[in-house]
Amino acid sequence: MPTFSIGDTDFLIDGSPYRVLSGALHYFRVHPDQWSDRIRKARLMGLNTIETYVPWNEHSPTRGEFRTAGQLDLARFLDLVHAEGMHAIVRPGPYICAEWHDGGLPSWLIADESIVLRSHDAAYLDAISEYLDAVYAIVRPRQIQLDGPVILVQIENEYGAYGADQDYLRRLTELTREHGIEVPLTTVDQPLEQMLERGSLDELHRTGSFGSRVGERLATLRSHQPTGPLMCSEFWCGWFDSWGEIHHTTSAEDAAHELDELLAAGASVNVYMFHGGTNFAFTNGANDKGTYRAIATSYDYDAPLAEDGTPTEKFWRFREVIAKYAPVPDEVPAERADAPELDVLLDRSASLWSIPIVASQRFDHLPVAAEFGSTRGFACYSTRVEHGGLLAFGEVRDRAQVYLDGALVGTLDRELHERMLPLPEDAMGELTVLVENLGGVNYGPRLGEAKGLIAPATLDGVPLTEWSAGAILLDDLAPVRAVLEAAPVAEPAEGGPLPLSGPVFASGTFTLDEPADLQLRLPGWTKGVVWVNGVNLGRYWSRGPQRTLYVPAPVVHAGANELLVFETVGAASAVAGFVARPELGPTEA
């Protein structure tokens, strides 16, 4: 059987030098029926390896389970990498960052305030051991020495930017070896002296994460990794988008130049991202460096392979560079074809308040969302007020729409640091607050913070302590569909389809001759979530930058298809449309 090891200057396969030319491709951000296509296109760019994180929170939403169906079938993904004749790098975290909800840490873990995250805390390590049992049961038999694709496994992730607990890293390493992982183990940090020193152990192979100033970064890395191959295991060739910002792009020419310099120095590389994919449903993360910024639904990343799986200019420039250092296949992927264009009338609608999907509980205090089991998406709080005045919360995480007897009073937006709202002087009645968790912080000290409304809650300085609160249950759409099917079909007015006032669910159907990738556009809509045939495509927001949502071809079928939208604010017209090309937003403010 083949062997993979680290030599004095190179990675070695069966004792011969081997350069790792890898690309990041997260199986959990791509429809499983499209995995083979994306993997193959990585090989066509000249790559020989696929790298992926493993998201603990997706696999284990409750303690003791490890889901592997559909989009979480890591074994199938690795087998497809192998079938394409490529190697694999697995990065199981347990923390992954990745602009992913809570950095990949499960909600049940972070809700336990007694646990010290990312440390040698015994309770934390017990939970990690259970997780690694399941992950490595998949990875272990797929290592290269067992004729599988896996050649490297990473310990933790950019730990030097977070902590310096060497006992923690040592125990993670021990757990990994105890679970039968024999391939070389790596760490990654930005090539800064303190991060490289704190984030690894001498028995682990240090790698760097950067996208520019290659010579300088490799020199810094070499000073902390004096032997073995140099590797940039996150070569940042693009960037992620956040709501309310521009669509980030980088020059294909500049990125190719940096890649050329990296390869000319003899280094190995992992292109981050080769193909970004999509933050489906409520999986996106957020950053908070003084101002909270939620990550957008598209994770296109301005990568060589676009969100819809088509090659970009960066793909071709990278392919040219790689061809200088390694064989590149003659076969090339097809260019993007226009997606089908059509309009959809959403002719049935129902108010959120008319649908029994709020699982309310009573509390004698203002609870955080985890107390009533709300870990993602939306929650609803309500209490009774007897007069008006200044309504205030300790903090809003992350966006709250405040209603008095069903009428919207105002909105509190965490990004704007809003937490107070005046109620009318004659206010009396049911105060209801629709709260959206816009994504768990994935990087830095606010990792694992509580969500929902944060105490204290006061009205003119007097505490509000009697609350009903619960998650809005959106995993099962049957109650929503039942109410919509009983709703009358809306007849378009003389001036066109009627507007919608949120929070409201609306549905319609559209017909296709055959399955195809689609680009959904919601002009005149404000903010909400979209499902096609029951698949949650993620959030849309008029704040931008992105204007379209990607609909993977495997989600739709020939004939009639269902489009269901939850609009939280309002839509000028109950019409959506599919357009020919993705629109990810302006690249300049």
Write the CATH number for 464: 2.60.120.260
- Say if residue 122 is in the same domain as residue 248: yes
* Residue 446 falls inside a structural domain: yes
- Say if residue 468 is in the same domain as residue 479: no
**Contacts of residue 151, Cβ cutoff 8 Å, sequence gap at least 6:** 4, 11, 20, 49, 87, 88, 89, 143, 144, 183, 184
Percent of the chain with pLDDT over 90: 98
- Say if residue 308 is in the same domain as residue 427: no
Out of 450, 472, 494, a domain closes at: 472
* Residue 331 falls inside a structural domain: no
Q: Left, alpha or beta for 33 (phi > 0: left; psi -120 to 50: alpha)?
A: alpha
Cα Dmax for the chain: 81
- Say if residue 174 is in the same domain as residue 292: yes
What digits encode the pLDDT tens for the residues 332-357? 999 999 999 999 999 999 999 999 99
Query: Which pTM does this prediction carry?
Result: 0.97
**Contacts of residue 545, Cβ cutoff 8 Å, sequence gap at least 6:** 241, 243, 245, 246, 247, 296, 584, 585, 586
Identify which of 226, 315, 247, 289 has the alpha carbon closest to the alpha carbon of residue 43. Answer: 315
- Say if residue 39 is in the same domain as residue 160: yes
The DSSP line for 373-397 is T--SEEEEEEEEESS-EEEEEEEEE
Rounded Cα distance between 488 and 503, Å, is: 18
Please name the helix (run of DSSP H) or strand (run of DSSP E) that holds residue 223, with its range, or none. Answer: helix 214-224
* Residue 25 falls inside a structural domain: yes
- Say if residue 287 is in the same domain as residue 210: yes
CA 8 to chain centre: 37
Position 133 scores a pLDDT of: 98
Position 354 scores a pLDDT of: 97
Position 194 scores a pLDDT of: 96
Out of 457, 472, 487, a domain closes at: 472
Q: Name the residue range of residue 277's domain.
A: 4-322
Rounded Cα distance between 27 and 363, Å, is: 40
* Residue 330 falls inside a structural domain: no
* Residue 336 falls inside a structural domain: no
Tell me the CATH number at 55. 3.20.20.80
Instruction: Please identify which of the residues 99, 156, 158, 436 carries the catalytic annotation.
Output: 158
- Say if residue 400 is in the same domain as residue 303: no
Percent of the chain with pLDDT over 70: 99
Please name the helix (run of DSSP H) or strand (run of DSSP E) that holds residue 175, with its range, or none. Answer: helix 166-178
Whether the CB-CB separation of 506 and 351 falls below 8 Å is answered with no
Identify which of 234, 297, 223, 230 has the alpha carbon closest to the alpha carbon of residue 271. Answer: 234
Whether the CB-CB separation of 529 and 520 falls below 8 Å is answered with no
* Residue 462 falls inside a structural domain: yes
Instruction: Please identify which of the residues 51, 99, 156, 234 carries the catalytic annotation.
Output: 234
With a cut of 50, list the residues of the chain below it in pLDDT.
none
- Say if residue 8 is in the same domain as residue 147: yes
- Say if residue 503 is in the same domain as residue 381: no
Out of 472, 505, 539, a domain closes at: 472
Rounded Cα distance between 517 and 252, Å, is: 25
Whether 158 is a known active-site residue: answer: yes
- Say if residue 437 is in the same domain as residue 489: no
Assign 102 to helix, strand or coil. helix
Position 421 scores a pLDDT of: 98
The CA-CA-CA angle for residues 106, 110, 114, to 5°, reads 140
Give the CA dihedral 19, 160, 279, 88, nearest 10 degrees: 20
- Say if residue 484 is in the same domain as residue 465: no
Domain count of the fold of the chain: 3
* Residue 527 falls inside a structural domain: yes
- Say if residue 436 is in the same domain as residue 575: no
* Residue 423 falls inside a structural domain: yes
Position 495 scores a pLDDT of: 67
